[in-house]
Structure 1
Amino acid sequence: MKRIAASLALALTLAGCGLRPLYGGAASPARSVLSQVQITPIAGQSGWLVGSALKDRLAAVEGSSPRYRLDIALDDSIIGLGVRRDDSITRERRTLRARYQLVDLSTGLTVVDDTAGSDAGVDVVGSEYATIAAEQSALERLSSILADKIVARIALYAQRSQAQ
């Protein structure tokens, strides 16, 4: 009996806290905005990877006219960290940073102007092929992480703009 009462009290407390799912329901503001975003082309291999990841996450409605435009500028860099006595590098850090702007096409105003980034460590081994493959794998992971951060920020904008 005490467990039932405690469960009921907990359920009532959580119901009144004001938390609601960001992507919940078909008519959620976040889902509505995310389906209306057009991504401008992004230069380079990293741009293609980030653009593809964003398209997968945004799920724009085919044939509909976009309400927003997403402009992204990427900075992809690799720096050496670990150095042996013979001055050869043993570890690298690959960093992918993005400055992105969400522009409302009806007004021309920038509604979100933000940055996102992530980095990954890469071991440099004796095989050049293995090192290049590890760098490429890191870029693919970073592109996915970056896309998740950008989509989350746009969804947060949609939620906040709906509340105002």
Structure 2
Amino acid sequence: MSSFNRRLFLFGCVAGLSACGFAPAYGPSGRANALQNTVRVDGPADRNDYLLTRALEDRLGRSSSPRYALSYAIETETESIAIAKNNATTRFNILGEVTFALRDLETAQVVSSGKVDSFTGYSASGTTVATQTAERDAQQRLMAILADQIMARLIAAAPGLPA
């Protein structure tokens, strides 16, 4: 009678992945290290810019001598998605889209660029203060989601590393 050994199976999977060149993105030799503390993110002009910049700097770090510059443009749109019988909107979606470009500061060439998009929702069925707080929280969540998507794209095309 044979029994399934989960530890042996998992060890075999990990060994197989490392043999094919797999390395964790944030590990010691991961692709994210090529960007860590080397990117200057454009300064914010409004609240959404600030939230996105803060989220990106949390992931990239802040560099005193950057090698790359990350510029971006944010577009958001709010749409009503639930309307009550009295014609009052009770739920909103915030749609967001960010176009970004990572430039090498020495050569001024664009190393990576792209566009990411997502959405979040919030309820408007409470008090005015609760609705405003929910909207601000939804904006913050949206910028964090978009920052994660930008990071995934940048890590996939990390400069100086083979794809």
After the TM superposition, list the runs of 4 or more consecutive aligned residues in structure 1 that deviate by more than 6 angstroms: 2-6
Counting aligned pairs with the same residue, the percent is 30
What TM-score results when the alignment is normalised by the length of structure 1? 0.83
- Gap regions ≥5 residues in structure 1: none
Structure 2 contact 100–114 (Cα < 8 Å) conserved: yes
What's the CA shift for 1:118?
Answer: 1.9
1:127 matches 2:127: yes
What CA distance in whole angstroms lies between the structure 2 residues aligned with 1:13 and 1:83? 50
What CA distance in whole angstroms lies between the structure 1 residues aligned with 2:87 and 2:6? 64
Match of residue 20, structure 1, among 1, 19, 23: 23
The one-letter code sitting in structure 2 at the alignment partner of 1:23 is: Y
- CA shift in 2, pair 1:39/1:85, >3 Å: same
What TM-score results when the alignment is normalised by the length of structure 2? 0.84
Once the two structures are superposed, the pairs formed by residues 56-75 of structure 1 within 5 Å of their partners are: 56-61=58-63, 63=64, 65-75=65-75
- CA shift in 2, pair 1:68/1:82, >3 Å: same
- CA shift in 2, pair 1:3/1:163, >3 Å: farther
- CA shift in 2, pair 1:87/1:8, >3 Å: closer
1:162 matches 2:125: no
Task: Count the aligned residue pairs.
Answer: 159
What's the CA shift for 1:12?
Answer: 4.1
Higher mean alpha-carbon deviation, 13-22 vs 110-119, is at: 13-22
The one-letter code sitting in structure 2 at the alignment partner of 1:124 is: A
What CA distance in whole angstroms lies between the structure 1 residues aligned with 2:132 and 2:3? 57
What CA distance in whole angstroms lies between the structure 2 residues aligned with 1:35 and 1:8? 38
